Amino acid sequence: NYGRYNLSVADSGFDSWLDGYKLGAPDRKTSIYPDAALCMLMVDLEIIRNTDGKNSLHSVMKELYEDFAQKEKGYSEDDFRNICVKFGGLKVAEIFEDHIYGKEDYIPTLKTALEVVGLELKEKKNPNLSAQYFGLIAIKENGKIIIKKVEPNSISDKNGIAPEDEITKVNGKTIEKKLKDVLKDCKKEVALTVKKKFSEKAISLSIGNYYKLLELVKKEKATEEQLILRKVWCNN
C-alpha cells in the first residue's frame, strides 16, 4: 500500500477511526492491519536478538498484563513503547520512530530483522495480470470492470488511468471472459479502452512488472544461532 509513504501507521490508525474505515483518497494512508503487524514483527525479532532469545514480544505483553491489567489500570502509548524499548533496545526505539510514527521505507529494516531467524524476502511476480502488466487492480462491479487501484508511477498512472475508470475493451474487443483470461494471451503491448466520466479512449500500454510481491523464505544456509532463535520465535 503506497499510502505508507504519505501517512504513518499511527496517523493512519487515528484517521481510520475518524473516517469510519473508508478507503478515502487513493494512497493517502496505509492499511493499519498488515503494516502494524509487520512493525510488531520487527519489534518482536529485535527483542529476540537483543536478549539472545531470552525475551520476545510475549514478554512485553506479560509485563503489561502484570503491571497494568492485574492492577486494574490502563496504559498509554508511551508505556507500551517504553516496555518494548526496555527489552529491545535502541533498534526498537528506531522502529517506533521511523516506521510506526514515521514514514521511512520499512523494507530494509524488515530484511535486517528477518536475518535474526534466518529468513529473507524474495521478490515474485503478482499473479493478478492487470496488476503485474499495467500496475492497476480492477474488479467486476454490476457487470463492469472497474479500476480500484493504480500503482504510482506505473505505466497506467503515467497514462492518466485512475481509480473508478472502467475498462470496456482489450485490443478493441469487448471483454466477454474474465479479464485475466483475456490478458494471458497478450504480448508486449496492449490497447485498453478506458471509459472515464465524460470520455472513452483506447490507450496503448507496454507490458511491465508492477505491484511486485515479496514472500518470506528460509535461507538455505542458516547458522546454528539463527535456527535456535527461529525456534524461540516460533514457540512464542
Res. 2 pLDDT band, cuts 50 70 90: confident
Residue percentage of the chain with pLDDT more than 70: 100
Given a cut of 90, whether residue 156 has pLDDT beyond it is yes
**Residue 167, C-alpha cell as written in the block:** 475498462
Given a cut of 90, whether residue 158 has pLDDT beyond it is yes
Given a cut of 90, whether residue 52 has pLDDT beyond it is yes
- Can you name the residues that pair with 122 across neighbouring β-strands? 215
Res. 1 pLDDT band, cuts 50 70 90: confident
**Residue 121, C-alpha cell as written in the block:** 524476502
Q: Which of 26, 29, 23, 24 is nearest to 10 (CA)?
A: 29
Reported as a single tens digit per residue, the pLDDT across 95-139 is 999 999 999 999 999 999 999 999 999 999 999 999 999 999 999
Half-sphere exposure of 191 (CA within 13 A, CB side): 9
pLDDT for res 92: 98
Q: What span, in angstroms and rounded, lies between the C-alpha atoms of 209 and 129?
A: 9
Query: SS3 of 212, please?
Result: coil
Given a cut of 80, whether residue 20 has pLDDT beyond it is no
Q: What span, in angstroms and rounded, lies between the C-alpha atoms of 52 and 122?
A: 26
Cα dist from 116 to 28, 110, 119, 154, 219, whole Å: 33, 10, 8, 34, 11
Q: What span, in angstroms and rounded, lies between the C-alpha atoms of 90 and 12?
A: 24
- ∠ CA 88-5-113, nearest 5°, is 25
Q: What is the mean pLDDT of residues 80-102?
A: 97
* Three-state SS annotation for 84-111: HHHHHCHHHHHHHHHHHCCCCCCHHHHH
pTM: predicted TM-score of the whole model, two decimal places? 0.86
pLDDT for res 16: 85
pLDDT for res 28: 86
Give residues with Cβ within 8 angstroms of 133, minimum separation 6: 183, 186, 190, 205, 207, 208, 210
